Structure 1
Amino acid sequence: MKGLVFTELMEMIEASWSLDMVDAIIARSKVASGGAYTAAGAYPHEEMVALLVALSEETKVPVPDLALAFGRHLFGRFAIAYPRFFQAGTDTLQFLGGIEGNIHAEVSKLYPDAELPTFEVDTAPGQLTLTYFSNHPSADLAQGLIEGCIAHFGEKITLRREPAPQQSGAQARFVLNQQE
């Protein structure tokens, strides 16, 4: 997992709780990196899980809720840090519908070692269905990113998360419906 994701988690924790909380979860989680993350580095996904579990233990907020909140935060940070990625999408459904061909293709060029999830995209008028595939259990984070996207574009969209279809590697299906 790219270090940028870890540095953003640390920033969210510091902003939402405190720098002392950052130190506490690093100590509690006993991550191999010692919490010394750089945006350009790469770290095991298990460290992200350990950090979220430690944060949950410290705050009593369930891990899925923390992952959702982090996903929303992360999308907002991506929108600020990478505005060029947002030029191709004029609304939520268009942006998310093009995530594989636009965003993930560019990220793969910039970071060839990045382990990106993939999305199978199905469209219908006013509807987008994303089937989420990943080697890591990150569907809550993905949902938070989708929620962050909806908030970014300021649209009235309902989001429904369904169980993963019976496909190898599928973790969840997200159905987005545009409201009038």
Structure 2
Amino acid sequence: MKGIVFTEFLEMVESTFGLETVDYIVENSDLKSEGVYTSVGTYDFIEMVNLITKLSEKVNIPVNNLIYEYGKYFFNVLTNSYPEIFKLYNSPLNLLSSIESHIHVHVRKIYPEAELPTFEVLEETDSNMKMIYKSERAMYMFALALIEKTFEHYHDKATVSYEKLNEEGTKVKFEIEKVV
């Protein structure tokens, strides 16, 4: 997993829960990196699992809720770091439908070793979309937050529902209905 995901996670934890909480989760997690991350480095996903789990225990918030909140936080990182991408699209559905064909293509150019989820668009109209999220990391709540924030960014509203297609959450169907 790319280091930017770790560095921004720790930034979110610090701004939300304080530096003492960051120190606690780093010191009490089994981290091969010892909690030292660079945004361009690559780290084992299990370290993120350890950090989120320790944070959940420390602040008494379920892991999936923390992943969702981190997704919302990370969306702002994306819009601030890559505003040109969001200018290329005139609607949230256009952006979401281009994740595989455009956005992930560019991410792989910058980070060739990045392990990205896949998004398969099953149906798309002007007002709705059905897509399948697949990732061994099962961070579908992160994806949900990014989808919702995409609509917010374009000043649109949508109802987003999801169905886990397997117990682990590595395959999830999202249904997005634009609110008119």
2:47 partner amino acid: E
State how far apart, in whole Å, the 2-side matches of 1:93 and 1:115 are: 23
Whether 2:43 is the aligned partner of 1:74: answer no
State how far apart, in whole Å, the 2-side matches of 1:13 and 1:148 are: 19
1:160 partner amino acid: S
2:90 partner amino acid: T
Q: Which runs of 5+ in 2 are unaligned?
A: none
State how far apart, in whole Å, the 1-side matches of 2:30 and 2:41 are: 19
Aligned ranges for residues 39-50 of structure 1 at < 5 Å? 39-50=39-50
1:98 aligns with 98
Q: Deviations over 1:22-54 (max 9, x none)?
A: 111111112111110100000111111111000
1:33 aligns with 33
State how far apart, in whole Å, the 2-side matches of 1:170 and 1:20 are: 33
2:163 aligns with 162
TM-score by length of 2: 0.93
**Percent sequence identity over aligned pairs:** 37
TM-superposed deviation, 1:85: 1.5
1:146 aligns with 147
State how far apart, in whole Å, the 2-side matches of 1:35 and 1:115 are: 20
* Paired residue secondary structure (2:26): helix
2:157 partner amino acid: K
Q: Deviations over 1:73-112 (max 9, x none)?
A: 1011101011121122222111111111111000001111
2:57 aligns with 57
Please say if residues 26 and 51 of structure 2, whose CA atoms lie closer than 8 Å, have aligned partners that are also in contact.
yes
State how far apart, in whole Å, the 2-side matches of 1:170 and 1:124 are: 26
State how far apart, in whole Å, the 1-side matches of 2:72 and 2:40 are: 21
Please say if residues 76 and 152 of structure 1, whose CA atoms lie closer than 8 Å, have aligned partners that are also in contact.
no
State how far apart, in whole Å, the 2-side matches of 1:135 and 1:41 are: 20
Please say if residues 67 and 140 of structure 1, whose CA atoms lie closer than 8 Å, have aligned partners that are also in contact.
yes
1:16 aligns with 16
TM-superposed deviation, 1:170: 5.1
2:148 partner amino acid: E
1:5 aligns with 5
Please say if residues 73 and 148 of structure 1, whose CA atoms lie closer than 8 Å, have aligned partners that are also in contact.
no
2:92 partner amino acid: T
2:110 aligns with 110
TM-superposed deviation, 1:154: 2.2
